[in-house]
Amino acid sequence: MKDKLMEPKSTGTICCSPRISSGFTPGASCCSPAQASCCNPSPEQGSEHEREAVSFGKKVNIQFLYLDLSKCTRCQGTEKVLEEAVSDVARVLEAAGVDVKVEKIQVEDENQALELGFVSSPTIRINGRDIQLEVIESPCEPCSDLSGENVNCRVWLWEGKEYSVPPKAMIIDAILREVYGPQPHTLEERKPVSEVPENLKRFFRSRGVSPKCC
């Protein structure tokens, strides 16, 4: 049977727009059991609307935690890419009713690091969750020169490759997954920190001895 254009019947039920259906039953309204999928979409059909409903009014709080922005090229680069990523998605999220805020925090001592659960610099968190829980580091020459100690900074892993600065796509992906991903959360919870890593302790000690260096 050729596909026919279904005309909605006036049955007192608010129905969806006319649709093409190869299983049209003469005399059946689009909201009858035979055409139930019209007004009762499958999970696949309804998922987009559900994501839109979930995202409306949602808040996305982004934290950028770092050791130094005066010399550390990794912190500087991460800040720049984060700003670009937020700018790229801001208009779309605003239209979807999502409120995005960015907070930049310089971690200056061990107590602050412990309180914030800060284990590697730089760090990006979305609604309190690291966008990369796995800590991968490599020697950071600017921070080592700044502190006079051997200091490592974060390496970002994205699609099987390592980067000294996170790719913009990585940050955008993390933001969108937090907004539109399965609820309540798509990013894993970070575990409490009981001790500051020795790598950070060396950096903080050097700042205590020579505060003017920073």
Q: Which residue has the higher pLDDT, 87 or 4?
A: 87
Among residues 150, 130, 149, 128, which one has the least CA distance to residue 139?
150
How far CA 71 is from CA of 180, 197, 213, in Å, comes to 36, 21, 10
191 pLDDT band, cuts 50/70/90, is low
Q: At residue 38, does pLDDT exceed 70?
A: no
Q: How many CB atoms lie within 10 A of CB 154?
A: 25
**Average pLDDT over every residue of 98-104:** 96
Q: Map out the domains of the chain with their CATH numbers.
A: 57-182+194-213 (3.40.30.10)
What whole-number distance in Å separates Cα of residue 79 and Cα of residue 108? Answer: 17
Total-model pTM? 0.70
Which span out of 10-14, 51-55, 68-72 was modeled with the highest average pLDDT? Answer: 68-72
The residue with tokens 């003469």 is 26
Q: What value does the mean pLDDT of the chain take?
A: 78
pLDDT of the residue at 58: 86
